[in-house]
Amino acid sequence: MNRIRLLDHLVLMLGVFVMVAPVVVAFMTSTHEAADIHRNGLSLAWGGHFTETYNTVLTREGGFTGKITGARMIWNSLILGIGFAAGKIVLSMLAAYAIVYFRFRLGTLFFWMIFTTLLLPLEVRILPSYEVMNKLSLTNTYTGLIVPLLASATGTFFFRQFFKSVPEELLEAARIDGAGPFKFFIDVLVPLSRTMIAAIFIIMFVYGWNQYLWPTLMTTDERFFTLVRGIKQILLVWVGSNIPDYNEAFALAILAMLPPVMIVLIFQRWFIKGLTESDK
């Protein structure tokens, strides 16, 4: 028995090493100077240039127009992540409420129309979506960045499942007490859904923060670049130079992963709950 356990631990430790080591190396290397990295390769030891590198990355005005800083990109990423998560929750709770708690003629039709959006991810309709955004002149706006991403049904299904599991007696009791649809929603359903809202917020924030393709299409103006979208630009500037700024590239990668990783780690329980229950 003991020997087997030891083997289990070995496998797990190897797994942890493979998953964690690249990120640790990336962080440690980002604290070295570019020339040092160029000479000695990646490093597992502290390089001592943490403040300089991160300060440069956050505040230096770069890009082709020389107007975008790392801090600005973080701000844009936050707007996208939070805006997307909040929008998703509001839209999908309202829609799920209508579908579960109301009897109306077109209910089934609407349900299927929302359901259909699960069939086609954004990636397969990028060009026409872009054309539509152009017609609405929403390119290079926060609206254009966030709102089209909301056009999918994942959140709606999550809340529909949850509302269906809410005991019937609650609604009966509320109606006897004379509560109308608005009162029931705000005073009963929203407080009941708090954990669910938190879980879905975490999933959606990570999803929004990590968006790449859509921001790449929507934003050509560097003032609207998110961190994840900016990565490509960094690499492009990089290709020509003699000693590439490895340290800055790694620093940006670390900054781009920090907020979603922190949220997943801190709210691990809600995150797992949200993930395993929403993706069914």
Binding residues among 122-141 for another protein as defined by CB under 8 A? 123-132, 136
The CB-of-185 to another protein minimum distance in angstroms stands at 9
Instruction: Pick the binder of another protein from 78, 98, 192, 237 (CB under 8 A).
Output: 98
Three-state DSSP state, 6: helix
Beta bridge partners of 68: 62
Instruction: Pick the binder of another protein from 212, 220, 221, 223 (CB under 8 A).
Output: 212
The amino acid present at 179, given as its one-letter code, is A
223 vs 72: CA distance, rounded Å: 8
Q: Using CA of residue 120, residue 121, residue 127, residue 131, what is the dihedral sign?
A: positive
The CB-of-101 to another protein minimum distance in angstroms stands at 6
What x-and-dash track marks residues 52-91 binding another protein by CB under 8 A? --------------------------------------xx
Q: Is 8 in the site for another protein (CB under 8 A)?
A: yes
- Residues 59, 70 contacting (CB under 8 angstroms): yes
214 vs 200: CA distance, rounded Å: 21
Three-state DSSP state, 42: coil
Footprint on residues 171-210 left by another protein (CB under 8 A): 171-172, 175, 181, 184, 206, 209-210
Beta bridge partners of 62: 68
Q: Is 213 in the site for another protein (CB under 8 A)?
A: yes
Footprint on residues 220-259 left by another protein (CB under 8 A): 228, 231-232, 234-236, 239, 246, 249-250, 252-253, 256-257
The amino acid present at 255, given as its one-letter code, is L
End-to-end, the C-alpha distance of the chain in Å comes to 36
Footprint on residues 254-273 left by another protein (CB under 8 A): 256-257, 260-261, 263-265, 268, 271-272
Instruction: Pick the binder of another protein from 2, 3, 102, 240 (CB under 8 A).
Output: 102
143 vs 146: CA distance, rounded Å: 5
Size of the site for another protein (CB under 8 A): 101
